[in-house]
């Protein structure tokens, strides 16, 4: 308090050796909307517990400097070797999760807390009627008693929810609406068991009223069968380079280990005809209008080819496991010295 400087925790110094940090770079509660209840003096916060393995960028270790690279996620951490770092330390990984917390900002106390099965959940709405609403990554829209967090109502939307619900009155009737669909900054973590990964990512506006009877059509589990891969034999070092580039430029959206978090295409599932135009998609940006920007300002054709080899290799490995040919998939091709 005297100096205003943060107190450093030397146990979490990741300069020499990588460390799990919780919360990771996605923070603990600063994305989805929280809700304020002035009468109760509480805020209802969608908190997230999302650990990340922190290792200072190899470039810093080697040269004592860190160059900001436009067109990718620059957080000073080693991204190229992330899959390797993750695998090496998976046994100590803190369990990810989330919780809706009724928090008193004046005392710092948590009045009640409800666990969510995943960490990346929806924003919160507290109503004057004493209810707290939240949608979650498992696809449930829930209403809780604001006094104690008791679950009072739940509706399965079969897709992950990110947006906060809103309430409004029309012709003397109160309604509750929510936009469904996952996304945001959760893509990086890769494949999980969330509703959007399981059933698909549906952008829907759902509106509820007391006595409402409509139901959603039953959802079916998405077909995620990895197509047969035509793999050209390439050296492990090339795959390692592709992996480093993928982790630096693509994993942020398409997911670590080329396993997608559900809202952006899983590149392991790319059909052959899409693979044929891979470089046009990535370099020219022919899908830019849909959010897949051109990377020709930061990547060269030869680099994109290496990324494509890596994606095919990951797809091939995971497919072998599904077919029962291999017991476990190869996840990384990086040698110790390689970084990007």
Residues that bind ligand HEC (CB under 6 A): 249-250, 252-254, 264-265, 267, 270, 274, 278, 281-282, 287, 290-292, 295, 307
Strands 140-145 and 151-156: antiparallel
Considering beta carbons, is residue 165 or 190 the nearer one to ligand HEC?
Answer: 190
- Sequence-separated contacts (24+) of 168-174 with Cβ below 8 Å: 173/209, 174/209, 174/210
Residue 31 near residue 111, CB atoms below 8 Å = no
Considering beta carbons, is residue 12 or 272 the nearer one to ligand HEC?
Answer: 272
Cα 299 to Cα 166, 269, 314, distances in angstroms: 43, 23, 21
Considering beta carbons, is residue 71 or 212 the nearer one to ligand HEC?
Answer: 71
Considering beta carbons, is residue 176 or 281 the nearer one to ligand HEC?
Answer: 281
Nearest distance, CB of residue 252 and ligand HEC, angstroms = 5
Nearest distance, CB of residue 273 and ligand HEC, angstroms = 9
Nearest distance, CB of residue 73 and ligand HEC, angstroms = 8
Alpha-carbon distance 192 to 182, whole Å?
Answer: 12
Nearest distance, CB of residue 242 and ligand HEC, angstroms = 9
What DSSP line would sit under 250-273, residue for residue?
THHHH-GGG---SSS--GGG--HH
Nearest distance, CB of residue 60 and ligand HEC, angstroms = 23
DSSP-derived 3-state class of residue 280? helix
Considering beta carbons, is residue 226 or 307 the nearer one to ligand HEC?
Answer: 307
Residue 56 near residue 76, CB atoms below 8 Å = yes
Nearest distance, CB of residue 324 and ligand HEC, angstroms = 26
Residue 142 near residue 136, CB atoms below 8 Å = yes
Alpha-carbon distance 92 to 17, whole Å?
Answer: 14
Considering beta carbons, is residue 54 or 249 the nearer one to ligand HEC?
Answer: 249
């Amino acid at each position: 308090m005297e100096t205003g400087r943060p107190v450093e925790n030397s146990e979490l110094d990741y300069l020499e050796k990588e460390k799990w940090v919780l919360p990771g770079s996605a923070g603990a509660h600063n994305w989805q909307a929280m809700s304020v209840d002035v009468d109760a003096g509480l805020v209802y916060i969608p908190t997230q517990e999302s650990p990340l393995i922190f290792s200072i960028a190899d470039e810093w270790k080697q040269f004592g400097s860190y160059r900001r690279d436009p067109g990718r996620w620059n957080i000073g951490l080693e991204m190229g070797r992330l899959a390797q770092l993750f695998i090496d330390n998976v046994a100590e990984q803190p369990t990810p999760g989330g919780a809706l917390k009724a928090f008193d900002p004046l005392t710092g106390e948590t009045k009640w807390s409800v666990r969510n099965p995943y960490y990346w959940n929806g924003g919160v709405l507290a109503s004057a009627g004493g209810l707290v609403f939240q949608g979650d990554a498992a696809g449930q829209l829930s209403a809780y008693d604001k006094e104690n967090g008791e679950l009072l109502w739940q509706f399965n939307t079969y897709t992950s929810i990110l947006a906060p619900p809103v309430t409004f009155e029309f012709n003397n009737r109160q309604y509750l609406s929510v936009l469904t669909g996952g996304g945001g900054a959760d893509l990086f973590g890769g494949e999980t068991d969330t509703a959007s990964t399981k059933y698909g990512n549906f952008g829907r506006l759902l509106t509820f009223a007391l006595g409402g009877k409509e139901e959603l059509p039953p959802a079916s589990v998405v077909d995620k069968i990895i197509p047969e891969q035509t793999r050209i034999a390439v050296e492990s070092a090339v795959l390692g380079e592709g992996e480093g580039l993928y982790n630096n430029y693509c994993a942020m959206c398409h997911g670590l280990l080329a396993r997608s978090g559900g809202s952006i295409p899983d590149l392991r599932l790319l059909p052959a005809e899409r693979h044929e135009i891979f470089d046009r998609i990535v370099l020219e940006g022919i899908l830019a209008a849909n959010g897949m920007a051109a990377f020709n300002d930061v990547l060269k054709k030869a680099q994109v080819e290496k990324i494509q080899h890596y994606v095919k290799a990951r797809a091939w490995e995971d497919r072998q496991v599904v077919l029962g040919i291999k017991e476990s998939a190869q996840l990384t091709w990086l040698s110790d010295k390689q970084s990007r």
